[in-house]
Amino acid sequence: MTVQLVKHSAADEDVVFAARVSTKGAESLPTGTFGPAEKGLINFLMRDRHGSPFEHNSMTLYVEAPIFVLREWQRHRVASYNEESARYRELKPVFYLPADDRKVVQVGRPGRYTFEPGTRMQRYTARRSIEMSAYEAWAYYREMLGEGIAREVARSVLPVSIYSSMYVTLNARSLMHFLSLRTEEEAARFPSHPQREIAMCAEQVEAIFAELMPVTYAAFQANGRVAP
């Protein structure tokens, strides 16, 4: 899984001037000053869930991940997406295989289940089955392309384990909502239990966010990882 920052216009100062326009008008324009008062304002906004000031920024990410991860990600309809198209270009033979420590057995009923490591044979069967189906699907895909069949038809044999790529553009408020659902933090006010593969992407997103907007990120952490 790969998540890279492409470009951004995102800083803690963006939250401050967006919030202060309510009471200061033109005097709210950025001055370059950032101190305890500004940090306190961000924490207040986060704590009391005044969300709109966190929307006046932008981050564009490049993501490479299996298609099943991208489809989960795109359920978050608070971002803009552009994805690689298998209609117009031949995909590369890069497929996802679960790591040896990936838990493969679901125990319990929906909404109240946990994942367990499973036996060595279960992990072997899962990995081998995914790998062999990928080899077979790729062979059929290449055969159809070799026969001159359109890419948009040939792609239908490819499994969701094949990698694709996309750009994602979103603001800090949307990003925090994504993190609240796609990371596993027991200290969160509303703990979430996402699929491991999308959590691997979310962890990279979180590291980018923490670097770009450290004060906002600290307030997010301090207030139970709840998006404002």
Distance CA 65, CA 42 (A): 33
* Helix 214-222 and helix 196-212, axial crossing angle in degrees, nearest 10: 130
At position 61, the amino acid (one-letter code) is L
Q: Which residues contact 121 (CB under 8 A, 6 or more apart)?
A: none
Cα separation, 13 vs 116, whole angstroms: 44
Do 8 and 216 form a contact (C-beta atoms < 8 A)? no
> Among this protein's residues, is 47 annotated catalytic?
no
Residue among 123, 173, 182, 225 flagged as catalytic: 182
Cα–Cα distance measured from residue 198 to residue 221, given in angstroms and rounded to the nearest whole number: 20
**Whole-angstrom Cα distance, residue 27 to residue 181?**
37
Q: Are 176 and 223 in contact (CB under 8 A)?
A: no
**15/51 Cα distance (integer angstroms):** 10
Query: Are 175 and 217 in contact, with CB atoms under 8 Å apart?
Result: no
Q: What is the CA radius of gyration of the chain?
A: 21
Name the residue among 3, 53, 70 with its Cα closest to residue 208: 3
Indicate the SS3 state at residue 85.
coil
Residues annotated catalytic, as ranges? 182
